[in-house]
Structure 1
Amino acid sequence: MKKHRIYTTSFGSVYPHYVAKAQKKGRTQAEVDEIVRWLTGHSEDGLATVIADGTDMETLFAQAPRMNPSRSLITGVVCGVRVEDVEEPTMQEIRYLDKLVDELARGKAMEKILRTP
């Protein structure tokens, strides 16, 4: 089975779209960064590196310092797909990130986005 092209797309080319989506709704790049760091465990410097060095989406998640265990609490639909039902692990991670950015753009509070008790 052929991999979806999003796997080989660089995170640095997708990231500006996440930021633009958030900013269009009055949110900030810093909030997008916080979401990505929460999900992947990257530091600020680590995130800057994967944005700049051409790291692809598959590698972003495969080599993440520490995927957040609370990500399993992310539920809902993004792009017509229920994220908790995505069977392929890497695609599910990508959909989790998409869902978190969607929630940010819809005005949801960061505490709720980051599944803080």
Structure 2
Amino acid sequence: MPNHKICSMAFSKIYSLYVQKAEKKNRTEEEVIQIICRLTGYSSDCLANYVDGETDLATFFAEAPTLNPNVSLIKGVVCGVRVEEVEDPLMRKIRYLDKLIDELAKGKSMEKILRS
């Protein structure tokens, strides 16, 4: 398994970047929270502990209660890479989240983003 630099970054730092990206496009932090909780199975209260802490991204995903069973519906390109073709399981999870936040910033409805 390749050791990607992003895996050792603090989730709180990545989270703040996601929120900034969303807010620049007139979306809300609550929508970012909803997306992350839906993908990972964390409750919003539990997620708040990670947002305030120094847990790295690898640990954040390793401790996630359950990945949403509909992740296979997340398809497309993030940073020039097809999400569904990423082989490393951790990087695939990170790319899933990146893709969902990208969709939020591009103005998609929450129903479509959450694959409801």
Give your verdict on TM over 0.5.
yes
The yes-or-no answer on 1:67 pairing with 2:62 is no
Matched letter for residue 11 of structure 1? F
1:37 counterpart residue number: 37
| 1:2 Cα deviation from its structure 2 partner | 5.1
1:100 counterpart residue number: 100
C-alpha distance in 1 between matches for 2:40 and 2:55? 14
Give 3-state SS (helix, strand or coil) of 1:3's partner.
coil
Over 3 Å counting, the alpha-carbon distance change for 1:2 and 1:87 in structure 2 is closer
Long gaps (5+) in structure 1: none
Long gaps (5+) in structure 2: none
C-alpha distance in 1 between matches for 2:2 and 2:34? 32
C-alpha distance in 2 between matches for 1:4 and 1:101? 20
2:6 counterpart residue number: 6
The TM-score, its normalising length taken from structure 1, stands at 0.96
Give 3-state SS (helix, strand or coil) of 2:70's partner.
helix
C-alpha distance in 1 between matches for 2:14 and 2:53? 13
Identity score, percent: 58
The yes-or-no answer on 1:91 pairing with 2:91 is yes
Q: Which runs of 4+ in 1 moved over 6 A?
A: none
Tell me, yes or no, if the aligned pair for 2:2 and 2:88 is still in contact at 8 Å: no
